[in-house]
């Protein structure tokens, strides 16, 4: 790395370069590799990486290697290859919105976070907010639960955030809930993120069966409460078609 930057910007330049190395890498990158590639002292690299972790631009995987952090993933989601998928999926989301009359969301896993990349709004005045780009605890969202249950997200460690009294606050309760979701095939939340909000979601899979996204419907509990199972079955019907769409897209990218 260049040593020519003015003292006031040198640390910023170095941190930005480390961030770029991690984000552009094809796989998680270790501290040793970052130190060697940057040419910085180990102490300097450690200090800068710690700052990037604190600001959620970087995080570490289970092996301790560095990957893009939740904050970076959240605000970069609209500018990656998934923007093409959103355009392809939009007609299906619109159809589902017309059938349910509620808000429809498409989300993808990024690290330990769900990033919502597309939304079709309810036609009602009273409806769900715009969730695109909003960072929420995955265990409090139907999209996140669907990903947890079927292996799309790593299970959380430590205490669980409880935005409402209905939210799941322990791993034991979450594990019980995930077993129920696997039996049903779809996930639900009932006023766990916000009082008055209920949601249903299903996983979307790639050719190998791995979860690559989740499709959900959300709306006010007063309208959703008695339709949860009906909407869950409808989402299961639509999930295979959307999975096929995303598989086709990924095959095209792989052949390009």
Asked if the model's pLDDT at residue 5 lies above 50, the reply is no
Is the model's pTM score more than 0.85?
A: no
Asked if the model's pLDDT at residue 250 lies above 60, the reply is no
Asked if the model's pLDDT at residue 79 lies above 70, the reply is no
Rounded Cα distance between 196 and 190, Å, is 8
145-166 average pLDDT score: 94
Write out the residue limits of the CATH 1.10.10.10 domain(s) in the chain.
7-68
Residue 161 — pLDDT band, cuts 50, 70, 90? very high
Residue 84 — pLDDT band, cuts 50, 70, 90? low
pLDDT of the residue at 75? 57
pLDDT of the residue at 2? 45
131-144 average pLDDT score: 83
Q: Higher confidence at residue 31 or residue 212?
A: 31
Asked if the model's pLDDT at residue 191 lies above 80, the reply is yes
pLDDT of the residue at 256? 47
Q: Higher confidence at residue 182 or residue 122?
A: 182
Asked if the model's pLDDT at residue 21 lies above 80, the reply is yes
Q: How far is CA 206 from the centre of its chain?
A: 16
The CATH code that applies to domain 78-255 is: 3.30.450.40
Asked if the model's pLDDT at residue 224 lies above 80, the reply is yes
| Average pLDDT score over the chain | 85
* Most confidently modeled range among 18-27, 152-161, 186-195: 186-195
Residue 117 — pLDDT band, cuts 50, 70, 90? confident
pLDDT of the residue at 113? 87
Asked if the model's pLDDT at residue 139 lies above 90, the reply is yes
pLDDT of the residue at 103? 93
* Cα separations in angstroms, 147 against 25, 71, 114, 201, 232: 25, 19, 9, 9, 15
pLDDT of the residue at 73? 57
* Cα angle value 110/111/115 (rounded, 5°): 25
Asked if the model's pLDDT at residue 125 lies above 60, the reply is no
Write out the residue limits of the CATH 3.30.450.40 domain(s) in the chain.
78-255
> Is CATH 3.20.20.150 the right assignment for the domain spanning 7-68?
no
Contact 147, 176 (CB under 8 A): no
């Amino acid at each position: 790395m260049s040593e020519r930057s003015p003292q006031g910007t040198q640390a910023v330049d170095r941190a930005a370069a480390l961030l770029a190395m991690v984000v552009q890498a094809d796989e998680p990158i270790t501290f040793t590799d970052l130190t060697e590639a940057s040419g910085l002292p180990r102490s300097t690299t450690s200090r800068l990486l710690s700052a990037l972790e604190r600001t959620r631009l970087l995080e570490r995987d289970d092996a301790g290697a560095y990957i893009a952090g939740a904050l970076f993933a959240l605000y970069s989601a609209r500018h990656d290859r998934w923007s093409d998928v959103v355009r392809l999926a939009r007609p299906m989301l619109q159809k589902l919105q017309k059938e349910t009359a509620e808000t429809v969301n498409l989300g993808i896993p990024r690290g330990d976070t769900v990033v919502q990349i597309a939304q079709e709004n309810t036609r009602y005045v009273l409806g769900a907010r715009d969730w695109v780009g909003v960072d929420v605890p995955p265990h409090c969202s139907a999209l996140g639960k669907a990903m947890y249950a079927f292996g799309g997200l790593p299970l959380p460690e430590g205490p669980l955030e409880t935005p409402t009294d209905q939210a799941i606050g322990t791993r034991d309760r979450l594990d019980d809930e995930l077993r129920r979701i696997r039996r049903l095939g779809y996930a639900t939340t009932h006023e766990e993120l916000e009082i008055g909000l209920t949601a249903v979601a299903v996983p979307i899979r790639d050719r190998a069966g791995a979860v690559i996204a989740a499709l959900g419907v959300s709306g006010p509990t007063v309208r959703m409460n008695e339709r949860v199972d009906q909407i869950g079955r409808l989402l299961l019907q639509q999930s295979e078609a959307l999975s096929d769409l995303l598989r086709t897209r990924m095959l095209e990218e792989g052949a390009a």
